[in-house]
Amino acid sequence: MATLEQCMTALEGFVGRLAASDGARGLDRSVSCRLTDLGQLVRGRLAGGSVHDLTAVPDGPSAPKADIRLTMSSDDLLALTSGQLSFTPAWASGRVKLEAGLRDMLRLRSML
C-alpha cells in the first residue's frame, strides 16, 4: 500500500498533466480521487491550465461531490501515474472508476 504522501505527489503530476493538455483548455472543474485503501479523498480544482488546492480529507458520506471523480487504490494510482498501468484497461476492468458529466467525459476521453 502506497503512502498518502506518495499519492499526493502522483496526483499532482497526473492532474497537472491533464490540466496542461489542449483538451483541458478553458476547463474549470472540481476534481477528486477517492483512495479506497487509505480511506482518503483528495480534492482539488483543475483550472487555468493547472491544478489548484489539492488537499486530502478523510473519506466519508458527507464529502462533497466533485465535477470529475476518480476512485482507485493507492497502488493502482502509483501504477497509473508511473506508466505501469494503462488507464483504459484499468477502467474497463473496474480497477479505476471515473465519474463525470457527459460533456466532461467526452473531453477527458481525448486527454487520457
List per-block mean pLDDT (blocks of 10 residues) for the chain, which spans 112 residues: 92 81 80 94 87 90 88 95 90 92 77 62
User: What pLDDT does 111 receive?
Assistant: 62
What topology does CATH give the domain 4-111?
Nonspecific Lipid-transfer Protein; Chain A (3.30.1050)
User: What pLDDT does 97 receive?
Assistant: 94
Residue with cell 466533485: 66
User: What pLDDT does 93 receive?
Assistant: 94
User: What pLDDT does 46 receive?
Assistant: 85
- The C-alpha torsion from 9 through 10 and 16 to 19, rounded to 10°, is -140
Query: How does DSSP assign the chain, residue by residue?
Result: ---HHHHHHHHHHHHHHHHHSGGGTT-EEEEEEEETTTTEEEEEEEETTEEEEEEEEE--TTSPPPSEEEEE-HHHHHHHHHTSS-HHHHHHHTSSEEEE-HHHHHHHHHH-
Is 0.75 topped by the overall pTM?
Answer: yes
User: What pLDDT does 90 receive?
Assistant: 92
